[in-house]
């Protein structure tokens, strides 16, 4: 019996919404969702990642739905934040790079950070993943548990150097990176997943947190994710991800960032101060975000779709976030050598 052919990819430009999935394979409802013109990308969580082989098949199915293909992203930092764990390298927390700098010097840690990025990107690109929400460039000011050992260091200049090296490794292997959480989440105790953190420091003290973003912008990082945190010294009303002062006045004009601004999840409690989902979508877009995450709440996704379809759909500039072929092949022996060094961190 002849097998039915796969459905032809729908020709649609990518929309501004990044959504999640329920399980390890697509169901009919999710296929319909991913063909909505307002959707442009998919984010994978741990519940979607049983093994490398399964993730590769899921990515193939997602990419086959549309032309150009939907983007596929993941949070694969290392340590606590590594959604896929089976069939790929288990990376330590990124703070391990800062500890290496303390023990052996910053140049040794920079070399390790670049190889970390190369190996991480080579593995994810082989599976079909386009972008990784890394590096996390929040400074470890010793107060944020949700950041904690995700921070590279408490020294801003080291964070800038290590993050830049990690990004160079990602770039070499064709994986897009997203620097987060602008302008810095490391000096607040609250977790923006559950409340709205407020960073009460004056503008001069906030400058240190911007140092890694300046360095990554100069290095060509294609995307930056702002924090759902309030910084009253700069904008007493809107969290950074909804603030024209932060996103246009500082990130775009002062720092010169021309890449893609990717919102943090609009379902998070830190976004609730803006209002309902319609208000969050409209305010984030007005402030300058081009790719909007709405995750772990299908009714919120439906609300976001409704408000987006009321108006002419934005056409975000997402081409820079699509995965690319590696500039050079990372051979098995080189991968094993990097893994051996990672195991000693």
Q: Are 203 and 249 in contact (CB under 8 A)?
A: no
SS (H, E, C) the chain: CCCCCCCCCEECCCCCEEECCCCCCCCHHHHHHHCCCCEEEEEECHHHCCCHHHHHHHHHHHHCCEECCCEEEECEEECCEECCCCCCCCCCCCHHHHHHHHHHCHHHHHHHHHHHHHHHHHHHHHHCCCEECCCECCCCCCCCCCCHHHCCCCCHHHHHHHHHHHHHHHHHCCCEEEEEEECCCCCCCCCCCCCCCECCCCHHHHHHHHHHHHHHHHHCCCEEEECCCEECCCECCCCHHHCHHHHHHHHHHHCCCCCEEECCCCCCHHHHHHCCHHHHHHHHHHHCCCEEEECCCHHHHHHHHHHHHCCCCCCCCCHHHCCCCCCCCCCHHHHHHHHHHHHCC
The catalytically annotated residue of 27, 67, 193, 309 is 193
Distance CA 40, CA 30 (A): 13
Q: Are 213 and 169 in contact (CB under 8 A)?
A: no
The catalytically annotated residue of 75, 132, 199, 264 is 264
228 in active site: no
130 in active site: no
Non-local CB neighbours of 69 within 8 Å, separated by 6+ positions: 9, 62, 63, 322
Q: Would you state the structure tokens that stand for residue 129, as one six-digit string?
A: 């993943």
125 SS3 class: helix
Which residue numbers are catalytic? 193, 264
């Amino acid at each position: 019996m002849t097998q039915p052919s796969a459905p032809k990819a729908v020709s649609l430009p990518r929309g501004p919404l990044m959504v999640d999935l329920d399980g390890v394979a697509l169901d009919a409802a999710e296929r319909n969702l991913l063909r909505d013109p307002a959707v442009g990308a998919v984010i994978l969580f741990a519940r979607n990642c049983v093994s490398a082989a399964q993730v590769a098949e899921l990515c193939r199915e997602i990419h086959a739905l549309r032309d150009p293909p939907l983007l596929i992203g993941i949070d694969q930092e290392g340590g606590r934040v590594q959604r896929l764990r089976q069939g790929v390298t288990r990376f330590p927390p990124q703070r391990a790079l800062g500890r290496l700098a303390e023990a052996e010097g910053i140049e040794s840690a920079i070399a390790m950070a670049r190889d970390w990025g190369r190996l991480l990107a080579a593995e994810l690109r082989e599976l079909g993943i386009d972008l990784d929400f890394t590096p996390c460039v929040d400074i470890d000011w010793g107060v944020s548990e949700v950041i904690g050992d995700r921070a590279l260091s408490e020294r801003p200049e080291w964070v800038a150097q290590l993050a830049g090296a990690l990004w160079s490794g990602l770039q070499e292997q064709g994986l897009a990176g997203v620097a987060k959480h602008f302008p810095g989440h490391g000096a607040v105790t609250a977790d923006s997943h559950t409340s709205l953190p407020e960073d009460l420091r004056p503008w001069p003290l906030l400058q240190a947190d911007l140092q890694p973003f300046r360095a990554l912008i100069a290095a060509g990082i294609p995307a930056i994710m702002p924090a759902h945190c309030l910084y009253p010294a700069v904008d007493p009303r809107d969290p950074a991800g909804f603030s024209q002062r932060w996103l246009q006045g500082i990130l775009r004009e002062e720092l010169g960032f021309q890449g893609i601004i990717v919102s943090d999840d609009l379902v998070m409690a830190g976004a609730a101060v803006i209002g309902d989902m319609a208000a969050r979508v409209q305010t984030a877009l007005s402030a300058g975000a081009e790719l909007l995450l709405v995750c772990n709440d299908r009714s919120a996704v439906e609300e976001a779709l409704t408000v987006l379809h009321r108006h002419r759909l934005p056409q975000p500039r997402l081409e820079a976030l699509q995965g690319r072929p590696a500039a050079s092949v990372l051979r098995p022996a080189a991968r094993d050598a990097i893994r051996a060094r990672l195991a000693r961190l």
